[in-house]
């Protein structure tokens, strides 16, 4: 395992331990609303602080992009951190949330770690070295088309997102697949694509910390990741489609046809 991944794993597990200590007493937490349907708790902030402390203990000059603390530093190595992806799930006792840590080196995504503290499942990946779940190599599914595929997605929840356009696409996708799941934690959805539990995934309006680690996982598990419009980098646009190569192509084509109608 790469030394930076070792650090990320230690940081993710430490943050996960902190998160789980509060899981059965979320009613005691202070909760703030960042925007409609977007929440932050003292656990999010404490978990991120713990991750950054863990990183800087080993590499004090490395740059950080954290969901809660923002950007700091200017080193060629940048850690992209979501300390608790799926905060709404966490607050409701719904066990679908994760710590997500992606690592860029000279502007390229190189490593990713996604850790579900509830199940203690640990996903890791490094560019060129493959992806693993609890130390076992994982690969994307072998689904050959959307027919019979199981997909993941995220519903638009902000006022500036076009819910009607999304619903039209959702209906079209539903009619051509075995089903669509909306679990509420993009980092885990992408990890599930990497592990073959989902055949594909799409969502709009994400942030870099939602996707960074998951993108590395999917690519290193033999999958494909791109922007929903077929151009640009989802890390910049926030709109992502991912899947095994055949599902990625089919799902991306369907999304493109809907975009052209708008």
Residues placed in the known binding site for Mg(2+): 67, 82, 84-85, 210
238's tokens = 């926030």
Name the binding residues.
67, 82, 84-85, 210
Q: Please, which residues have CB within 8 angstroms of residue 251's CB and are 6 or more apart in sequence?
A: 146, 151, 173, 200, 202, 241, 243
The CA-atom distances, in angstroms, between 135 and each of 97, 132, 138, 153, 205 are 20, 5, 9, 27, 32
């Amino acid at each position: 395992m790469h030394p930076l991944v070792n650090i990320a794993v230690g940081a993710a597990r430490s943050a996960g331990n902190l998160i789980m200590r509060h899981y059965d007493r979320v009613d005691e937490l202070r909760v703030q609303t960042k925007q409609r349907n977007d929440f932050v708790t003292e656990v999010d902030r404490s978990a991120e602080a713990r991750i950054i402390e863990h990183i800087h203990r080993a590499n004090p000059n490395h740059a950080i992009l954290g969901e809660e603390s923002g950007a700091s530093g200017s080193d060629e190595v940048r850690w992209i951190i979501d300390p608790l992806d799926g905060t709404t799930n966490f607050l409701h006792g719904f066990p679908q949330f994760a710590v997500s840590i992606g690592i860029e080196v000279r502007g390229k995504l190189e490593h990713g770690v996604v850790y579900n503290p509830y199940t203690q499942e640990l996903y890791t990946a490094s560019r060129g070295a493959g992806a693993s779940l609890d130390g076992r190599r994982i690969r994307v599914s072998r689904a050959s088309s959307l027919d019979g595929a199981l997909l993941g997605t995220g519903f638009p929840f902000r006022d500036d997102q076009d819910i009607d356009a999304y619903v039209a696409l959702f209906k079209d996708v539903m009619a051509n697949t075995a089903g669509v799941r909306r679990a509420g934690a993009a980092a885990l959805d992408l990890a599930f694509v990497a592990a073959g539990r989902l055949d594909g995934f799409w969502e709009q309006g994400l942030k870099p910390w939602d996707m960074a680690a998951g993108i590395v996982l999917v690519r290193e598990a033999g999958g494909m990741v791109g922007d929903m419009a077929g151009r640009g980098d989802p890390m910049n646009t926030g709109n992502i489609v991912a899947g095994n190569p055949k599902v990625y192509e089919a799902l991306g084509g369907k999304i493109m046809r809907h975009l052209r109608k708008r």
